[in-house]
Chains A and B, each alone.
Chain A
């Protein structure tokens, strides 16, 4: 059964800006990006899935499929198919998937506490040792190690809820 109109409007208000920013990277204009956003929400409305993961990650996956479908439609030539066209499609799919992963990971990281995010930044992104991170974060070394453990557990939990598998 399709979603009701109020739910659709809520989805649009809550998620359209983020979807638009995702789509604009793969479309020629803001108007086309808006078309992707609307098509994404319409597909979600039509299929009215029982969403067990987060709505946003579901919408982003749907937007990814809309972008790829559009690209394939543009590449289709009725009289002939070149191997270059197939390669272009797979490159486009790769690019879309890469950005989708980025967007989903940004959302997952945003859901972590500041302490958990900071320890991940210190150890993973800045490549500090636990001792160096303790100095930077002004906490004991044991706290850094403990927070690293719980930060990754929390990140894994958020990703599981979003339906992102490593």
Chain B
């Protein structure tokens, strides 16, 4: 049964008082009945219902301090005048920059030597491969064959994927699920006529935060799962 727009608008605004616990009993029953038929209100509730738990991280006293006349709207932490100066920080920064340049110079000279030794004379580019920290292999008789390497980076994790037998149409994607159930898309690519893929993805997630890695087809269906979290693999 559809709701009258005006009644929905009235009930929709109750979600705030409902979440914060200030709603009267009769209105609570009315709103909960409304939730049975209104997906919009249900989604709204879903996005707000965990806020009280986060609000409990701050005490009433600390919250009141945020609204005191002296500092309304100003975070009640830290004394802006309490500084030790930027001198020590900038000296450390200069030192790290020098160390970083020395390391870069050593790497460049080492890489250059390797470059010359391996490929420069033949005109081909040489790259020192970084050994992945974690490797997965999926091999099925009639389905995909996948090799996935995870490489730890300062910014997160690089994922190097090679595959055969993948879907030949649509946009494929690589998804990472962390231990709290959140997903991050690390890569997406157009399927090829031969079902092959050679892609590199990136995620800010660290390897130890990962639970599952999924490859999905163009319809969002999972066609392969690897589990860094449990060191298992399945497809």
Query: Chain A nearest CB: distance from B60 CB in Å?
Result: 4
Contact B58–A102 (Cβ < 8 Å): yes
Contact residues, A1-55 vs B (CB, 8 A)? 2, 5, 8-9, 12-13, 16-22, 34, 38, 41-42, 45-47, 49
What number of residue pairs across chains A and B have CB atoms under 8 A from each other? Answer: 159
Closest B residue to A164 by CB, please name it: B54
Instruction: Indicate if B151 sits at the interface (CB-CB under 8 A).
Output: no
Contact B20–A123 (Cβ < 8 Å): yes
Contact A156–B47 (Cβ < 8 Å): yes
A8-B93, A42-B96 are known contacts. Are A13 and B86 too (CB-CB below 8 A)?
A: yes
Indicate which residue in B16, B73, B82 contacts A149 across the interface (CB closer than 8 Å).
Answer: B16
Query: Chain A nearest CB: distance from B55 CB in Å?
Result: 5
Indicate which residue in A9, A18, A45 contacts B86 across the interface (CB closer than 8 Å).
Answer: A9
Instruction: Indicate if B64 sits at the interface (CB-CB under 8 A).
Output: yes
Query: Chain B nearest CB: distance from A140 CB in Å?
Result: 13
- Chain B residues touching A, range: 35 or more
Contact mask for chain B residues 63-81; partner A; CB cutoff 8 A; 1 contact, 0 none: 1101100001111111110
Chain B residues whose C-beta falls within 8 Å of the C-beta of A118 in the assembled complex: 67
A102 to B83, CA, bound (A): 23
Among A12, A21, A34, A149, residue most surrounded by chain B Cβ atoms (within 10 Å): A149
Instruction: Indicate if B53 sits at the interface (CB-CB under 8 A).
Output: yes
Size of interface on A: residues with Cβ below 8 Å to B: 63
Instruction: Indicate if B84 sits at the interface (CB-CB under 8 A).
Output: yes
Query: Chain B nearest CB: distance from A62 CB in Å?
Result: 12
Instruction: Indicate if A117 sits at the interface (CB-CB under 8 A).
Output: yes
Contact A17–B55 (Cβ < 8 Å): no
Instruction: Indicate if B1 sits at the interface (CB-CB under 8 A).
Output: no
Contact B155–A125 (Cβ < 8 Å): no
Closest A residue to B64 by CB, please name it: A121
A123-B21, A156-B47, A166-B54 are known contacts. Are A5 and B93 too (CB-CB below 8 A)?
A: yes
Contact A127–B24 (Cβ < 8 Å): no
Contact residues, A115-141 vs B (CB, 8 A)? 117-118, 120-131, 133
Contact B15–A149 (Cβ < 8 Å): yes
A145 to B15, CA, bound (A): 8
Contact A17–B78 (Cβ < 8 Å): yes
Instruction: Indicate if A159 sits at the interface (CB-CB under 8 A).
Output: yes
Contact B16–A151 (Cβ < 8 Å): yes
Among B15, B57, B97, residue most surrounded by chain A Cβ atoms (within 10 Å): B57
A107-B75, A117-B66 are known contacts. Are A124 and B55 too (CB-CB below 8 A)?
A: yes
Indicate which residue in A8, A105, A146 contacts B90 across the interface (CB closer than 8 Å).
Answer: A8
A52 to B48, CA, bound (A): 22
Contact A46–B96 (Cβ < 8 Å): yes
Closest B residue to A165 by CB, please name it: B182
23 residue pairs bridging A and B, Cβ less than 8 Å apart: A16-B83, A16-B84, A20-B82, A42-B89, A45-B93, A46-B96, A46-B154, A47-B154, A105-B58, A107-B75, A117-B66, A120-B20, A121-B67, A125-B55, A133-B22, A144-B22, A145-B22, A148-B22, A149-B12, A150-B16, A155-B51, A166-B50, A166-B51
Known: A114-B67, A118-B67. 13 other contacts (CB 8 A): A9-B90, A18-B77, A34-B84, A41-B89, A106-B76, A106-B77, A120-B55, A121-B67, A123-B17, A123-B22, A124-B55, A128-B22, A152-B48
Complex A-B, nearest 8 residue pairs according to Cβ-Cβ distance, in ascending order = A148-B16, A149-B16, A166-B50, A17-B78, A123-B22, A18-B78, A123-B20, A125-B60
